[in-house]
C-alpha cells in the first residue's frame, strides 16, 4: 500500500504561520498556487515586489504534501545566496548553500543534508551543474521545486547575459527526473523577447506567465539631460536633505566612485565607495555598514545592490546613463522597498553612450573577428592558448570564442578543448549585436521622452495592468522635482505654443510626426529644433498634446523611431504650461567652492539661446554703452551675453556663475539683467 499523502496546507495559512504575513502582496498568491499545483511559471516582477516568497512558500507547501526534498535554488551571486539563506534560517527554516566561497567540506555537508531530507532549501551557483556527477547526485532525491533566480542571465538578448546559465536547459531534466517537479524562472528585468528566450532555453512546460508589478506607486522617477561636469553637483543636490537618505549613487567608473565618496565625506556625510576592485573584506564591510544604517550613502558601480535587501533606501542616483532600460529598472528598484516615498534621479546625456559603445565593441566583436576564429577551427580539438597564438586576436580571442560557442559556431568539451561547430552562427550573432545597439538607443530615447516615466517602463516590459500616468515623475509633477527646475513660459514662448497648436490643427487628422510639426510651425520662425522640443514637452506635460512613439524598419531593415504628435482630448481642466530650465546650460551653484559659483563656459554660437532674450540683452548692452560712452564689449562680451541668454539665471549667484560675468557686472547691472531675463527679453511694463 502506498503511504498516504497529506493534503496540501492552505497557502494563506503557511504565509501567516511560517512567514509572519497576514496577506499576500499583489500577484503573489496566484503565482504560489500555480506552483503548488505543479505548473511551470515564468515570473517577472521588479526588485522589491516579493519574488522570493513566490518560490519559498510553494516549496514548503509541496514538501509537506508530496514526496520530495528541498527546493533547489539556482542563484548567480554569492552575496544573494548568503542573504537569502540568512533570512530563511532566521525564520526557523533549514537552508544551505554551495558556492566557491565555502570550504569543500561545508559543501559536502550541505549535499549530505539535502540527500538525508534535512533541508528545506539548497542554493547553488549555475557553474556547479557543470561539475561531473553533481546533477546526478541531486537527482537522487527529487526536489519539491526548482527555482532559477535572475533567469534573464540565460538569454543573450538580456542585459546581463552569463554563458554559464546556458547549460541549465540541459541539466534541469536530470534534476526533474520522472517526477512532476515544477520549475519557476524569476527575474526583475525581462522584455517580451527575453521572456520567450527564458521559456525556450529552460524548456519550461507551458509555463504560466506572470508579468506584473512594474508600477511603483511610491517611486518618483526624475531624468535630467546634463553634461558630466554638472552631475556631481546635482547628485549632491539630490541627497542634500536628510530625508533623501539613505541613498545609493551609481557612478560609471571605479575611479569616479572613489572620488565622489571622498568629496562627500569631506562635506560630513557618512559615505563609502563600493566596486569590484576593492578587497572582498572591504566590500563586505561597506555593504554591511550600509545595511545596518552606519553609512548614509554608498557611491558604487553597478556591482552593488544585488546581494542586499535594504528596504529604506530613499534615493537612487545614476551619474551616467545605464546600458539598458532593463538595468535601469533593476537598479532604481532598490529605492523605496518599504513602500514609503522614494526618488530615482538619472543624470545623463547622449555622450554617455560613447562609454557603452566601447564596451559593446569589446564584448561583441565585429563578425569578421569571429570569422577568423571559426576558420581556424576544425574537427581537431584545440586548446585556447594554441588558438590564441594562431588567430592573433589578442584579448578579443576569448570573447570571440564565447560568442561562437553561444551561437553554435564552436564546441567546447568538458576538458575545455575546442572544435568547430555549425556554419549558421553568423546571422543570429548579427541579430544579437544589433539588439545590444538597440538597447543603448532605447536608453538614450528614455532620456528625452516627453511622457510619464512609469508608463514608458510599463510599456517596455509588457506590463499592461494599469495604463494611467503615475502622477509623481518629472513629467507628471514637474514642481515636485528635486533636481530639475521649471519656469513659466515667456511671452514669445507662448506665441510659439500657439503656432504649434495651429499647425497641429491644420495637419493630418491622426496627427503629425514631430519633425513635420516642427517644419510646419517654428522652423520658419528661426526657432531651433531643441527649443521646439522644449515647447513640445511643455504642451505634453500640460495635457495639450499626446505623444506616441512609432517604430518601423527601412529598406535595409534598420529600426527607425520617431514621435507622432496628436491633439489631446479635452477631458479635464488645463494644467499650467511650463518649461524645464536645461541643466546642460544652467549655472552651477556655489556648493563646494567656498560660496563662489564656478564658471560655466557657454559656446557663443549655441543656437538654442532664446533669440528674443539675446536681442533684449543686446539692446540693454548698447543703451548702457551709449550712456557710459564706452564700447559695448566693455559692458559685456558676446560670450557672456549669450551665456546669460542660454542659462537664464534666476539669481545673482547663478548670474555670477556665467563665464565672463564678474562681480562688478553683477553689482552694477544684476537686478536689471535678471528682470530682463524674467521678461524673456521683452520691454518692461513701464516702457
Q: What is the 3-state secondary structure (H, E, C) of 254-300?
A: HHHHHHHHHHHHHCCCCEEEECCCCCHHHHHHHHHHHHHCCCCEEEE
Helix (H) or strand (E) run with residue 627 in it: helix 611-628
Is there a contact between 149 and 77 (Cβ–Cβ < 8 Å)? Answer: no
Give the SS3 label for residue 31.
Answer: helix
Q: What is the pLDDT of residue 555?
A: 46
What's the mean pLDDT in 217-241? 92
CA angle 59, 63, 68 (to 5 degrees): 110
Beta-carbon count within 10 A of 411 CB: 16
| Residue 80 to residue 148: CA distance in whole angstroms | 13
CATH fold group of domain 11-211: Rossmann fold (3.40.50)
* Cα dihedral sign, 530-533-534-535: positive
CA angle 52, 54, 55 (to 5 degrees): 80
| Residue 98 to residue 121: CA distance in whole angstroms | 11
Q: What is the pLDDT of residue 341?
A: 96
| Residue 272 to residue 287: CA distance in whole angstroms | 9
| Residue 29 to residue 284: CA distance in whole angstroms | 34
pLDDT range class, residue 412, cuts 50, 70, 90 = confident
Whether the pLDDT of residue 89 is over 80: the answer is yes
Nearest C-alpha neighbor of 477 from the set 589, 568, 343: 343
- For 277-304, what is each residue's pLDDT tens digit? 888 788 889 988 998 999 999 999 886 7
What's the mean pLDDT in 396-422? 88
Q: What is the pLDDT of residue 178?
A: 65
What's the mean pLDDT in 548-555? 56
What homologous superfamily is domain 219-354+466-472 in, according to CATH? P-loop containing nucleotide triphosphate hydrolases (3.40.50.300)
Q: Spell out the residues 6+ positions from residue 578 whose beta carbon is closer than 8 angstroms to its own.
A: 478, 486, 487, 488, 489, 538, 541, 542
Nearest C-alpha neighbor of 212 from the set 85, 318, 54: 54
Instruction: Find the range with the poorest average confidence among 14-18, 292-296, 444-448.
Output: 444-448
Note the helical H segments in 143-227.
Answer: 168-176, 192-201
What's the mean pLDDT in 255-276? 92
| Residue 387 to residue 410: CA distance in whole angstroms | 12
Instruction: Find the range with the poorest average confidence among 148-152, 208-212, 590-594, 611-615.
Output: 590-594
CA angle 166, 322, 546 (to 5 degrees): 110
**Residue 124, strand partner residues:** 74, 98
Task: Please tell me which residue, 376 or 450, carries the higher pLDDT value.
Answer: 376
User: CA dist 96 to 11, 67, 182, 306, 362, Å?
Assistant: 23, 20, 21, 19, 37
Task: Please tell me which residue, 657 or 420, carries the higher pLDDT value.
Answer: 420
pLDDT range class, residue 3, cuts 50, 70, 90 = very low
| Residue 126 to residue 130: CA distance in whole angstroms | 8
Q: What is the pLDDT of residue 158?
A: 63
Q: What is the pLDDT of residue 662?
A: 73
| Residue 573 to residue 100: CA distance in whole angstroms | 61
Q: What is the pLDDT of residue 307?
A: 53
Whether the pLDDT of residue 159 is over 80: the answer is no
What percentage of residues in the chain have a pLDDT greater than 70? 86
**Residue 96, strand partner residues:** 122
Instruction: Find the range with the poorest average confidence among 92-101, 310-319, 488-497.
Output: 488-497
Task: Please tell me which residue, 464 or 58, carries the higher pLDDT value.
Answer: 58
Task: Please tell me which residue, 548 or 338, carries the higher pLDDT value.
Answer: 338
CATH 3.40.50.300 domain position(s) in the chain: 11-211, 219-354+466-472
DSSP structural state of residue 382: B
Whether the pLDDT of residue 661 is over 80: the answer is no
What's the mean pLDDT in 607-618? 77
Is there a contact between 305 and 284 (Cβ–Cβ < 8 Å)? Answer: no
| Residue 357 to residue 362: CA distance in whole angstroms | 9
Task: Kindly report the CATH class assigned to 486-580.
Answer: mainly alpha
Whether the pLDDT of residue 585 is over 70: the answer is no
Q: What is the pLDDT of residue 421?
A: 93
| Residue 682 to residue 687: CA distance in whole angstroms | 10
Whether the pLDDT of residue 53 is over 90: the answer is yes
What percentage of residues in the chain have a pLDDT greater than 90? 30
CATH 1.10.10.10 domain position(s) in the chain: 486-580
Is there a contact between 55 and 77 (Cβ–Cβ < 8 Å)? Answer: no
Query: Which of 160-169, 325-334, 370-379 is modeled with the greatest confidence?
Result: 370-379
Helices 491-506 and 514-521, interaxial angle, to 10°?
120
| Residue 151 to residue 170: CA distance in whole angstroms | 15
Q: What is the pLDDT of residue 491?
A: 87
Chain mean pLDDT for the chain: 83
Q: Spell out the residues 6+ positions from residue 336 whose beta carbon is closer than 8 angstroms to its own.
A: 48, 216, 218, 219, 313, 314, 342
CATH 1.10.150.80 domain position(s) in the chain: 585-687
Is there a contact between 611 and 621 (Cβ–Cβ < 8 Å)? Answer: no
Helix (H) or strand (E) run with residue 85 in it: helix 78-90
CATH fold group of domain 585-687: DNA polymerase; domain 1 (1.10.150)
| Residue 11 to residue 29: CA distance in whole angstroms | 8
Amino acid at each position: 500500500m502506498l503511504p498516504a499523502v497529506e493534503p496540501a496546507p492552505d497557502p494563506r495559512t503557511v504565509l501567516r504561520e511560517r512567514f509572519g504575513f497576514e496577506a499576500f502582496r499583489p500577484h503573489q498568491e496566484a503565482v504560489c498556487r500555480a506552483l503548488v499545483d505543479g505548473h511551470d511559471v515564468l515570473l517577472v516582477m521588479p526588485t522589491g515586489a516579493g519574488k522570493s516568497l513566490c518560490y519559498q512558500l510553494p516549496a514548503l507547501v509541496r514538501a509537506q504534501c508530496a514526496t520530495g526534498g528541498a527546493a533547489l535554488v539556482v542563484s548567480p551571486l554569492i552575496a544573494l545566496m548568503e542573504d537569502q539563506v540568512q533570512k530563511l534560517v532566521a525564520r526557523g527554516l533549514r537552508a544551505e548553500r554551495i558556492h566557491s566561497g565555502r570550504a569543500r567540506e561545508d559543501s559536502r555537508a550541505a549535499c549530505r543534508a539535502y540527500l538525508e531530507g534535512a533541508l528545506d532549501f539548497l542554493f547553488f551557483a549555475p557553474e556547479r551543474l557543470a561539475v561531473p556527477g553533481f546533477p546526478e547526485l541531486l537527482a537522487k532525491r527529487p526536489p519539491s521545486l526548482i527555482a532559477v533566480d535572475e533567469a534573464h542571465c540565460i538569454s543573450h538578448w538580456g542585459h546581463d547575459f552569463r554563458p554559464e546559465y546556458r547549460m541549465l536547459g540541459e541539466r534541469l531534466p536530470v534534476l526533474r527526473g520522472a517526477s512532476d517537479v515544477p520549475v519557476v524562472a524569476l527575474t526583475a528585468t525581462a522584455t517580451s523577447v527575453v521572456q520567450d528566450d527564458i521559456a525556450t532555453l529552460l524548456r519550461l512546460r507551458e509555463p504560466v506567465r506572470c508579468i506584473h508589478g512594474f508600477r511603483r506607486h511610491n517611486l518618483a522617477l526624475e531624468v535630467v539631460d546634463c553634461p558630466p561636469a554638472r552631475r556631481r553637483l546635482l547628485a549632491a543636490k539630490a541627497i542634500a536633505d536628510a530625508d533623501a537618505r539613505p541613498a545609493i549613487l551609481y557612478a560609471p567608473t571605479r575611479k569616479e566612485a572613489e572620488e565622489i565618496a571622498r568629496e562627500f565625506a569631506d562635506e560630513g556625510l557618512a559615505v563609502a565607495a563600493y566596486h569590484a576592485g576593492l578587497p572582498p573584506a572591504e566590500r563586505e564591510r561597506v555593504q554591511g555598514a550600509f545595511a545596518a544604517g552606519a553609512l548614509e550613502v554608498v557611491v558604487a558601480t553597478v556591482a552593488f545592490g544585488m546581494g542586499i535587501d535594504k528596504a529604506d533606501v530613499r534615493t537612487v542616483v545614476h551619474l551616467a546613463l545605464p546600458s539598458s532600460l532593463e538595468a535601469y529598472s533593476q537598479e532604481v528598484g532598490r529605492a523605496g522597498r518599504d513602500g514609503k516615498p522614494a526618488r530615482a534621479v538619472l543624470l545623463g546625456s547622449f555622450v554617455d553612450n560613447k562609454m557603452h559603445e566601447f564596451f559593446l565593441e569589446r564584448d561583441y566583436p565585429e563578425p569578421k573577428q569571429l570569422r577568423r576564429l571559426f576558420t581556424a577551427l576544425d574537427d581537431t580539438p584545440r586548446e585556447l592558448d594554441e588558438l590564441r597564438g594562431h588567430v592573433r586576436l589578442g584579448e578579443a580571442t576569448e570573447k570571440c570564442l564565447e560568442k561562437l560557442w553561444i551561437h553554435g559556431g564552436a564546441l567546447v568539451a568538458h576538458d575545455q578543448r575546442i572544435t568547430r561547430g555549425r556554419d549558421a552562427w553568423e546571422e543570429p550573432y548579427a541579430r544579437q549585436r544589433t539588439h545590444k545597439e538597440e538597447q543603448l538607443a532605447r536608453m538614450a530615447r528614455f532620456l528625452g521622452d516627453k511622457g510619464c516615466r512609469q508608463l514608458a517602463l510599463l510599456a517596455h516590459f509588457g506590463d499592461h495592468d494599469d495604463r494611467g500616468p503615475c502622477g509623481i515623475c518629472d513629467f507628471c509633477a514637474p514642481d515636485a522635482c528635486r533636481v530639475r527646475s521649471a519656469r513659466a513660459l515667456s511671452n514669445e514662448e507662448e506665441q510659439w505654443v500657439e503656432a504649434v497648436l495651429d499647425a497641429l490643427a491644420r495637419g493630418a487628422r491622426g496627427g503629425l510626426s514631430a519633425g513635420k510639426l516642427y517644419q510646419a510651425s517654428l522652423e520658419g520662425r528661426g526657432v531651433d529644433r531643441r527649443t521646439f522640443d522644449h515647447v513640445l514637452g511643455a504642451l505634453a506635460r500640460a495635457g495639450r498634446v499626446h505623444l506616441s512613439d512609432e517604430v518601423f524598419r527601412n529598406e535595409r531593415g534598420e529600426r527607425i523611431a520617431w514621435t507622432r504628435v496628436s491633439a489631446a482630448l479635452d477631458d479635464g481642466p488645463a494644467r499650467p504650461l511650463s518649461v524645464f530650465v536645461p541643466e546642460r546650460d544652467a549655472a552651477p551653484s556655489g556648493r563646494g567652492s567656498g560660496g563662489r559659483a564656478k564658471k560655466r563656459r557657454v559656446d557663443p554660437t549655441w543656437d538654442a539661446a532664446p533669440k528674443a532674450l539675446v536681442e533684449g540683452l543686446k539692446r540693454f548692452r548698447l543703451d548702457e554703452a551709449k550712456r557710459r560712452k564706452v564700447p559695448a564689449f566693455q559692458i559685456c562680451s558676446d560670450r557672456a551675453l549669450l551665456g546669460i541668454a542660454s542659462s537664464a539665471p534666476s539669481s545673482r549667484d547663478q548670474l555670477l556663475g556665467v563665464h565672463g560675468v564678474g562681480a562688478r557686472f553683477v553689482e552694477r547691472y544684476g537686478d536689471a539683467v535678471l528682470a530682463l531675463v524674467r521678461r524673456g527679453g521683452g520691454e518692461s511694463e513701464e516702457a
